[in-house]
A and B are shown apart, each in its own frame.
Chain A
Amino acid sequence: MRRLAGKRAVVTGGGSGIGRASAIRFAREGASVLVVGRAGNTEETAAGIRSEGETASALIVDAAIEENVAEIVRRCVSEFGGLEIFFANIGVTGTNTPLLEQTVDEWSEVYRINTISCFLAVKYAGRHMTAQGYGSIILTSSAASLRANAGAISYSASKAAVNNLAQTAANAFAGTGVRVNAVLPGLVETQLTRKVFEDARARGVEAKLGHVTPMKRPGRSEEIAAAAAFLASDDSSYVDGQLLSVDGGVSSTHPYGRIAL
């Protein structure tokens, strides 16, 4: 499928996990992709895409710092000639420190990386896209933004703010041709969740991962990437300000067997 032929896309957090899978998917659908990340694996993602004969380059910066996000947009436009898709995907998990002992420092850093990064994406990608009258901005949220006990508390709250930003930004961009949506993954093995998976394997209970979802399994990064590609493409042209759950059903059900009445 080449739904993104001729499009120029930024994917942040592109060195691994959902970001890497999305960068690859966008490129396979025809987009030129600027892969952004903080670590050297960002270049690996871009090199892998190029080895498939598609177009990508890497930019190693922190995408939660204002001047960096301005530079990301400039770089995509100067290198590829434009920007139609921005996938704001960087994130940190926060800690499971007991709530009563959590600190403002932790919350500030979690909000900076998870929430402020999305504001900056909306601001700088939004400036470019509203001026050209077309664009799709996708924000990574989480099932934890909707339900408790699906992530750290600071993480969950920061992602709920992302949901609201997707809606309020979509409304702020009314009439401009720019859409803003959020994708809400459930449990997926990525750099963020590796410890959960490694602990489960060490204890021999890997098969139980994802057991609270109706689908009884965790998701794969490629499954989130497919949803992001839908939101990036014109197949979602009338989908705006939406929170797209890709979580095996965990956020929309209470799958604990039949309730005895």
Chain B
Amino acid sequence: MNSRFRDRVCVVTGAARGIGLAIAERFGREGGRIACVDVSARRLEPAVEGLKSKGFEARAYGVDVGKRDDVHALFAQIESDFAAPVAVLVNNAVWARFEPLAQIEIETVERMFAVGVHGLIWTTQAAAPQMERRGGGSIVNLSSVSAFHPAKDSIAYSALKAGVVGLSRASAIELSAKKIRVNVIAPGMIGTPASIAQFDEATIATRQAEMPAGRFGEPEEIAALAAFLASDDASYIQGTVVTADGGWTIPAR
């Protein structure tokens, strides 16, 4: 495999499984040094052991990205452990519930936004000075097609993911001067165990039939896109949203 991330410290949040783990593995295959972050270090253990068994340099970090001081301490620890500043940050961690309007509780919204919006501000705040010190960096934030084409029961989620787009584009303006790029991936339906578990078989078949690709995406396909945006191949791509949904949101139906 090629080595677009050789010697680069790549931080991936929500790396215990699914898309986050696939991204961590792709960085590893391309020579990256991987800092895996999740709310529970224990939950990360199998992921990190798996990455190491493939010959990748990977370390596990348990932190709640919604807590600013903890996030700043985390990034200081990562720089110390790898003896190099962070070059790549992928904000993939998310905590979400899908509910009709009347059922949405204060605690749900607070938790969702703490992880999915506040968390991105804190990781960006902590990573940017390190990236600046090494002469630049790349941040990739995970949004969703729900930011633009919300489905049922996604009032909080679509607001959350639209928030990711706004904060990413605004960050792109400020961080351009430090040679840091900030871009967004908006995945459609990705066939992780967690997403598949939400639907019965008939619903899955209906959804797939709606997509020009005729199938759900694989975590590895989002990882390939994340690697592109994080790499120097995307050196003139800034503040952009790239949708990866197999064409799902193209037709009006």
Taking Cβ atoms with an 8 Å cutoff, the residues of A that contact B are 1, 167-168, 170-171, 173-175, 179, 186, 213-216, 219-220, 223-224, 226-227, 229-230, 234-242, 244-249, 251-253, 255
A249 / chain B contacts, CB cutoff of 8 Å = 169, 172-173, 176, 238-240
Interface residues on B, range: 35 or more
Chain A neighbourhood of B148, CB < 8 A: none
Contact A171 B236 (CB under 8 A): no
Contact, CB under 8 Å: A186 / B236: yes
Are B239 and A216 closer than 8 Å at their CB atoms?
A: no
Q: Give Cα A186 to B235, complex, Å.
A: 13
The answer to whether B238 and A238 have CB atoms under 8 Å apart is: no
Consensus secondary structure, chain A interface = loop
Decide if A213 touches B238 in the complex (CB within 8 Å).
yes
Q: Is B205 an interface residue (CB 8 A)?
A: no
| Binary flags per residue of B145-179, CB closer than 8 Å to A gives 1, else 0 | 00000000000000000000000011011001100
Task: Provide 25 A-B residue pairs closer than 8 Å at the C-beta atoms, listed in order of the A residue.
Answer: A167-B250, A171-B247, A171-B250, A171-B251, A214-B173, A215-B236, A220-B236, A226-B234, A227-B234, A230-B233, A235-B225, A235-B228, A238-B217, A238-B222, A238-B245, A241-B212, A244-B240, A244-B242, A246-B237, A249-B172, A249-B173, A249-B240, A251-B240, A252-B241, A255-B176
Q: A171-B212, A238-B213, A252-B240 are in contact. Are A229 and B233 (CB under 8 A)?
A: yes
A173 to B218, CA, bound (A): 20
What residues on A are CB-neighbors of B222 within 8 Å?
A: 238
Assess the A253–B239 pair: CB atoms within 8 A.
yes
Q: Which of A219, A244, A251 gathers the greatest number of chain B CB atoms within 10 Å?
A: A244
A230-B228, A242-B242, A246-B240 given; 10 more Cβ-contact pairs under 8 Å: A238-B221, A240-B246, A245-B240, A246-B234, A248-B176, A249-B169, A249-B239, A251-B240, A252-B169, A253-B239
